[in-house]
Structure 1
């Protein structure tokens, strides 16, 4: 933890940084199978096949994010929220290794030191809110599906991925002029987290992504020179 009395913030990616699963897709599988059984499993596999094909074809992650949320068109916000609460209750208790413990301990240490904790994710509020309560996060910066009359439209506001993460974190930092970004921390595991990691004085790579580590080191060197 930093040896400073100045206020600071900690920004943390979620999937494969704080938890071991990809929350969007794990929840999609959970709710489809719970509601529709075998038909839900088959629908999930069809969605994932298209998702994998898009990724292999180099479709931007932001567009894949939009594709994911199109599958919630006309879904009740309350129904999805209730299912997400059940998903989190089951997964966080019954799934061995649900949390990446090193990150969870680090975030708890920052909280104990008085830092504000902000989760930053391409996932969406129903999935992230129970997690935020569990780890004591003060805010969530995430992709927000458009809602009309209590139902999802299938569209989203700006996906909080890559440059979307940068913009979201920059906006949050702008709302806290008492905080110096150089005192802040950010945790991420993927190259798409790099724009967020570049904004703080203490970026932390979770996992063994060699390219992410190399790119971050290169950026730090260019800043110093």
Structure 2
């Protein structure tokens, strides 16, 4: 006998997760540079360190990510946090958001994230940026949560080492799969957004993928695969929002859980 719609005994539809990259997807440029600038204002790093962050920003904006730039940025970020407390980094992340990040958010991509949220989807930020920065951006935007690169903390102080590998490439896809599995979310229903060829493992993981202002390699791949490509043109943005409304399964709101 069918269960009446709305009954307490009716089966609960599984959740839908939408994963968003941050740098050059949700915001213009590299978040790490802006963290470095905020750290300089607080005396955490030198002007030379900030100059290196600036060079990384220029290269990232011009040619996208590559392993050498990622390794250099990671080393700089670990030097910056070594010996700092958890509270130091929380304050630094909020300072970075207030002074820089919110000014560089891409309104169209933020609108897509909110479109997913309004459909009852969980919206997760996945980024190589430090964990605390990913969490602050997600909180400020009213999203489910943020997952970034986690630096090691011992007795409340950062050691300058990583807990695991950089939240990048295959590691990002693995974490997305863990989040979906923990929530019982079918990957075929999930969504992923990124600008970088390095996020192909994440994009290929989900049933719905959208490339945002892609680098040349990702644009070629997306074109060959017939994936939607979002540009800054109003028509492109409207089409992306209509696709979420049309194809994104609506999910009843439930209390959100912390990362597994």
**Band of TM-score, shorter chain:** 0.7 to 0.9
Bigger relative CO (Cα 8 Å, ≥ 6 apart): 1
1:162 corresponds to which residue? 169
1:76 corresponds to which residue? 85
Pick closer, same or farther for the CA change 1:22–1:62 going to 2, 3 Å.
closer
2:21 corresponds to which residue? 13
Are 1:62 and 1:161, in contact at CA under 8 Å, matched by a contact in 2? Answer: no
1:203 corresponds to which residue? 209
Residue 43 (structure 1) aligned to one of 27, 49, 52? 49
Where do 4+ consecutive residues of structure 1 move more than 6 Å? 50-53
- Report how many residues are paired: 208
The DSSP-based 3-state class of the residue aligned with 1:123 is strand
TM-score normalized with structure 2 length:
0.71
Distance, in Å, in 2 between the alignment partners of 1:91 and 1:47 is 14
2:235 corresponds to which residue? none
Pick closer, same or farther for the CA change 1:66–1:83 going to 2, 3 Å.
closer
Distance, in Å, in 2 between the alignment partners of 1:102 and 1:75 is 35
1:67 corresponds to which residue? 75
Residue 194 (structure 2) aligned to one of 188, 191, 200? 188
The DSSP-based 3-state class of the residue aligned with 1:153 is strand
The DSSP-based 3-state class of the residue aligned with 2:183 is coil
Alignment of 1:175 with 2:182, yes or no, is yes
Q: Which runs of 5+ in 1 are unaligned?
A: none
Q: Displacement, 1:62?
A: 5.4
Q: Displacement, 1:165?
A: 0.7
Q: Displacement, 1:186?
A: 0.5
Are 1:66 and 1:155, in contact at CA under 8 Å, matched by a contact in 2? Answer: no
Pick closer, same or farther for the CA change 1:60–1:36 going to 2, 3 Å.
closer
2:98 corresponds to which residue? 89
Q: Displacement, 1:59?
A: 4.4
Residue 26 (structure 1) aligned to one of 23, 34, 43? 34
Are 1:69 and 1:145, in contact at CA under 8 Å, matched by a contact in 2? Answer: no
Are 1:51 and 1:64, in contact at CA under 8 Å, matched by a contact in 2? Answer: no
Distance, in Å, in 1 between the alignment partners of 2:168 and 2:213 is 18
Residue 131 (structure 2) aligned to one of 121, 125, 138? 125
Are 2:148 and 2:167, in contact at CA under 8 Å, matched by a contact in 1? Answer: yes
Distance, in Å, in 2 between the alignment partners of 1:7 and 1:196 is 18
Q: Displacement, 1:115?
A: 0.5
Q: Displacement, 1:108?
A: 0.7
Greater C-alpha radius of gyration: 2
Are 2:56 and 2:73, in contact at CA under 8 Å, matched by a contact in 1? Answer: no
TM-score normalized with structure 1 length:
0.81
